[in-house]
Amino acid sequence: MALEHLFQGSALNAVDAKGRVSIPAFLRGVIERRGDARTIVLAKHEAFACLSAYDPAYAALKHAKLERLLEKGETSPDAELEYQQRNLMAFAATEEVPYDSSGRILMPPMMRRKGQIGEIALFLGTGETFQIWNPDLLLKDPRIPEDLKDIARFRLEERGQQ
């Protein structure tokens, strides 16, 4: 597998009154290098109180990964069911949204609620995908490494001083 271009870095962007958010340029760059889409796929993260996001090309890859998992651990009826459930989550519970010429998406209301995103969205690159957080929720989560919280605090501070 191994994707050539990886999402990395962090940024804090505003969600305006219309629900628009700029996808940071450095993430858009990766999306457009991976494929020629100007679109992102949004999903609720499986483990954290945030959204998971990626490009359409990655969605296909993810599907292939699930298939492989099934074929490896197959024979068990549990595995089959789990596969069905994962597949549902991977595709039905996601939304694909395009970004405009200035790099903004219109955050879908359902996703905004699922991710509990308020007026400010924290973007975190995680390699194959990236995450979108309500920064306050990240700071509260005990599973998040302290060093990363420092970064979130720095971004908040940076923005506050303007």
* 37 touches a second copy (CB under 8 A): no
Strand partners, 119: none
Q: How many residues bind DNA (CB under 7 A)?
A: 25
Q: What is the per-residue binding string for DNA in 17-36, x denoting contact by CB under 7 A?
A: xxx-xxxxxx-x--------
Counting contacts by CB under 7 A, is residue 47 touching DNA? no
Task: Please tell me the distance from the alpha carbon of residue 51 to that of residue 117, in angstroms, as a whole number.
Answer: 9
79: Cβ contacts below 8 Å, ≥ 6 apart: 70, 73
Q: Is 92 in the site for DNA (CB under 7 A)?
A: no
Query: 116 is in the binding site of which of a second copy, DNA, none (Cβ under 5 to 8 A by kind)?
Result: none
- Return the range that interacts with a second copy (CB under 8 A); candidates 14-22, 99-107, 139-147: 139-147
By CB under 8 A, residue 85 contacts a second copy? yes
CA separation for the pair 75, 55 (Å, rounded): 32
- Residue 160, number of CB atoms within 10 A of its CB: 7
